[in-house]
Amino acid sequence: MKTLVTLTVNGEERSLAVEGYRSLLDTLREEAGLTGTKKGCDVGDCGACTVIVDGEPVNACLMLAVEAAGRDVRTVEGMQAGPDALHPLQEAFMEHGASQCGFCTPGILLMAQSLLERNPDPSDEEIRFGLSGNICRCTGYTKIFDAIRTAARRMAAPPADASGLEAAE
């Protein structure tokens, strides 16, 4: 039996008809058409499916869609401020080559965003701890950590003028 589930996805209210046994991950990808959220393992091990629910990162594969009723869900598609404006984390990931095959990237970007919201100036150890639930098979993580440090620096810099931003590098 399908239930109509109303939730907010990236600031937009959506009503989706779902079966009680469907995961939030499958529902986002197949019903909401948001394929940015990836399915790596489907059992909570890899972090590729990370989304932010009511401000907290969770594995979308370990949550039923019906449980998201009335909640606020953010996916990687919601990170950009506009169609041409990338999030500073996305910019930094591109510059550092922190994404290779890209499969882990949406989950890692959201995890990094959530980390920086809580802790704008994380230590290396805190970055590692923050990403300990996300697996990347390609990059060896070093470039990911570099990108997060760069983005953290830029996000902390006052948004004054562009030259100030360069000087902060």
Partner 1 sequence: MRRFEYHEPGTLAEASDLLTGLGEGTFLLAGGTDLLVEIRERLRRVHHLVNIKRITDLDAVTLDGEGLRFGALVTAGTLERHPEVARLYPNLWAGLRSLGSIQVRNRATVVGNICRASPSADTIPPLVADGAEIETWAPNGGRRIALADFFTGPGRSVLAPGEIATGIRVPPPATGSGRAYIKHGRRRAMELATVGVAVSLETADGRCTAARIALGAVGPTVLRAPGAEAILTGSRLEAGIVAAAAEQAMLECTPISNVRSSANYRRDMVGVLTRRAVTLALEAAA
- Residue 97 vs 120, nearer CB to ligand FES: 97
Interface with partner 1 (CB under 8 A), residue from 30, 45, 117, 126: 45
88 binds, options partner 1, ligand FES, none, Cβ within 5 to 8 A by partner type: none
Contact 9, 73 (CB under 8 A): yes
Using CB under 8 A, pick the residue from 89, 104, 109, 111 that binds partner 1: 111
Question: Which residues, other chains included, contact 113 with Cβ-Cβ below 8 Å and sequence gap of 6+?
Answer: 52, 79, 87, 89
Which residues are 8's β-sheet partners? 13, 72
How far apart are alpha carbons 104 and 132 in whole angstroms?
Answer: 13
Q: Which is nearer to ligand FES, 2 or 29 (CB)?
A: 29
With b for 16 or more beta-carbon neighbours within 10 A and e for fewer, the 19-53 pattern comes to eeebbbbbbbbeebebebbbbbebeeebbbbbbbb
User: Which stretch in 51-59, 73-81, 96-104, 158-166 sits in contact with partner 1 by CB under 8 A?
Assistant: 51-59
- The binding site for ligand FES (CB under 6 A) comprises 39-42, 44-49, 59, 61, 99-105, 136-139
- Contact residues toward partner 1 (CB under 8 A) are 3, 19-23, 26, 42-45, 47, 50, 53, 56-59, 61-64, 66-67, 111, 129-130, 132-134
